[in-house]
Structure 1
Amino acid sequence: MMSTRSALLIIDVQVGMFDESYPVHLGDRLIEKIQSLILNVRSKGVPIFYIQHNEGPGQPLESGKPGWAIHPSISPNEEDTIIQKNRPDAFYNTTLQQELVNKGIHKLILTGIQTDICVDTTCRRANSLGYNVILVKDAHSTWNTPELTATQIINHHNNVLQWFSSVQNADEIIFE
Structure 2
Amino acid sequence: MSKALLIIDMQVMPFIWKDYGGKPLYQEEKLLENTKQLIDNARKANSPVFYVMFTERQGSLRSENEPLWQAHEQIAPLGHDPIIIKYYADSFLDSELNHQLRDQGIDTLVICGVQTEYCVDTTVKSSYSHGYKVELAEDCHSTYDSDHLTAEQIINHHNSILTQFATMVRSSEVQF
TM-score by length of 1: 0.93
Correspondences of 1:2-17 after superposition (within 5 Å): 5-17=2-14
Q: Find the residue that maps to 1:16 and give its secondary structure.
A: helix
Question: Which residue matches 1:40?
Answer: 41
Question: Which residue matches 2:97?
Answer: 96
Q: Distance in 1 between matches of 2:79 and 2:157?
A: 36
Identify if the C-alpha distance between structure 1 residues 120 and 59 changes in structure 2 by more than 3 Å, giving closer, same or farther.
farther
Correspondences of 1:76-115 after superposition (within 5 Å): 76-115=77-116
Give the alignment's Cα RMSD to 1 decimal. 1.5
Amino acid at match of 2:9: D
Q: Any conservation in 1 of the 2:38–2:174 contact (CA below 8 Å)?
A: no
Q: Deviations over 1:71-99 (max 9, x none)?
A: 11001112210000000000000000000
Q: Distance in 1 between matches of 2:65 and 2:43?
A: 27
Structure 2 gap segments, 5+ residues each: none
Q: Distance in 2 between matches of 1:56 and 1:144?
A: 27
Question: Which residue matches 1:151?
Answer: 152
Q: Deviations over 1:157-176 (max 9, x none)?
A: 0000000000111112111x
Question: Which residue matches 2:32?
Answer: 31
Question: Which residue matches 1:54?
Answer: 55
Amino acid at match of 2:174: I
Q: Any conservation in 2 of the 1:16–1:60 contact (CA below 8 Å)?
A: no
Identify if the C-alpha distance between structure 1 residues 59 and 144 changes in structure 2 by more than 3 Å, giving closer, same or farther.
farther
Question: Which residue matches 1:171?
Answer: 172
* 1:60 CA drift (Å): 6.4
After TM superposition, which residue ranges in structure 1, 4 or more long, deviate above 2 angstroms? 20-23, 55-65
Q: Distance in 1 between matches of 2:164 and 2:97?
A: 22
Q: Deviations over 1:108-130 (max 9, x none)?
A: 00000000000000000000111
Q: Any conservation in 2 of the 1:14–1:61 contact (CA below 8 Å)?
A: no
Aligned residues: 172
Amino acid at match of 1:37: L
* 1:56 CA drift (Å): 4.5
Q: Find the residue that maps to 1:42 and give its secondary structure.
A: helix
Question: Which residue matches 1:67?
Answer: 68
TM-score by length of 2: 0.93
